[in-house]
């Protein structure tokens, strides 16, 4: 299958949500009989396999480079303390030392939109999960996404390096949250495991 992804504002190179949704529809509504689906995309060949109700997305892993904190970034996020550092990958990654900082975030999206990045992630270690995060992307027309699969292609390796684990549990979101399991493989790939369910069904007349 060919697969492309668009936010309300732009076309993007990778989107986990929509890949999961497309796979779920193929497996559960359109009668796809194989255990693995292959998608040709702007990020190369991606596969999604199923194990019972769980789906596994096989994505390319990405790295992150530590940078100086961009001027105005923390003010736009409303963060005044607790920042360990900032890294850059497809998104800017702000690492903080307490998950309560993430829970209380209320960004100024107009100020956040000026930064030259796809989105901005704030992440921290957690007692229940290996790491938690929130993702903001006013640059691409999505103020906040509850779970951003594509961001975990670099968040998972980032936290694998910090924890020494290659299998990690993650939770993302503010008022809306989602959880996933990440497997960082030695071949430069990241597996994202999770579940999906249908919430709306209809017909478009074009």
Q: According to CATH, what is the number of the domain 65-186?
A: 3.10.310.10
Model pLDDT, residue 83:
98
Q: Is the backbone of residue 165 left (phi > 0), alpha (psi -120 to 50) or beta?
A: beta
Tens digit of each residue's pLDDT (9 = 90 or more) over 120-160: 999 999 999 999 999 999 999 999 999 999 999 999 999 99
Model pTM? 0.92
Q: Locate tokens 């299998």: which residue?
A: 167
Tens digit of each residue's pLDDT (9 = 90 or more) over 47-70: 999 998 999 999 999 999 999 999
Residues 152, 138: Cα–Cα separation, whole Å: 19
Residues 201, 28: Cα–Cα separation, whole Å: 13
């Amino acid at each position: 299958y060919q697969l492309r992804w668009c936010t309300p504002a732009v076309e993007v190179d990778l989107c986990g949500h929509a890949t999961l949704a497309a796979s779920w529809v193929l497996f559960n509504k359109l009668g796809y009989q194989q255990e693995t689906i292959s998608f040709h995309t702007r990020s190369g060949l991606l596969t999604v396999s199923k194990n019972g109700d769980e789906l596994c997305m096989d994505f390319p892993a990405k790295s992150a480079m530590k940078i100086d904190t961009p001027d105005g970034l923390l003010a736009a996020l409303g963060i005044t303390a607790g920042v360990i550092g900032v890294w850059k990958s497809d998104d800017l990654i702000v690492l903080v030392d307490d998950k309560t900082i993430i829970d209380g975030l209320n960004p100024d999206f107009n100020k956040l939109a000026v930064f030259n990045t796809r989105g901005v992630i704030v992440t921290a270690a957690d007692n229940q999960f290996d790491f938690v995060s929130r993702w903001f992307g006013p640059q691409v027309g999505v103020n906040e996404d509850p779970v951003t699969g594509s961001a975990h292609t670099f968040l998972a390796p980032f936290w694998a390096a910090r924890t020494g684990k290659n299998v990690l549990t993650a939770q993302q979101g503010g008022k809306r949250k989602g959880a996933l399991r990440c497997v960082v493989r030695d071949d430069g790939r990241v597996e994202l495991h999770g579940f999906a369910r249908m919430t709306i069904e209809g017909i478009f007349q074009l």
